Amino acid sequence: MLLGRVVGHGTATVKHRSLHGAKLLLVQPLRSLTTEPVLALDRLGAAPGDRVLISSDGLGARQLVDDPTSPARWLVIGLVDPGQDVTVA
């Protein structure tokens, strides 16, 4: 689990059948060794600028889209209230 900030939306002209209709967000992990943004599935309604908790649990992402062959890996698992300080171990 990582704390991140939504920096944009993901779009694709061609995507895996399991991702049709799925909202994809570009999330920049914060306070992490990972410096590159990741593409995460979102069913919680996060928007650019929001702080979110993301998980790299590929099994959970595949269960979310109900397809065991999905390439999905990252998913948004929580929204952080504005003004709240969050520490993720």
Q: For residue 84, is it within any domain?
A: no
Residue 41: its pLDDT value, please? 94
Q: Find the domain containing 10 and state its range.
A: 2-79
Residue 15: its pLDDT value, please? 86
**Ordered per-residue pLDDT tens for the chain, 89 residues:** 899 999 999 888 888 998 888 899 999 999 767 678 999 999 999 999 999 999 998 898 899 889 999 998 999 999 998 876 766 65
The total domain count for the chain is 1
Are the CB atoms for 15 and 41 separated by under 8 Å? Answer: no
Residue 89: its pLDDT value, please? 54
Q: For residue 85, is it within any domain?
A: no
Q: For residue 74, is it within any domain?
A: yes
Q: For residue 42, is it within any domain?
A: yes
Distance of CA 52 to the CA centre of its chain: 8
Can you give the pTM of this predicted structure? 0.84
Tokens (6 digits) for 78: 């929580």
CATH number reported for the structural domain that contains residue 10 in this entry: 2.40.50.220
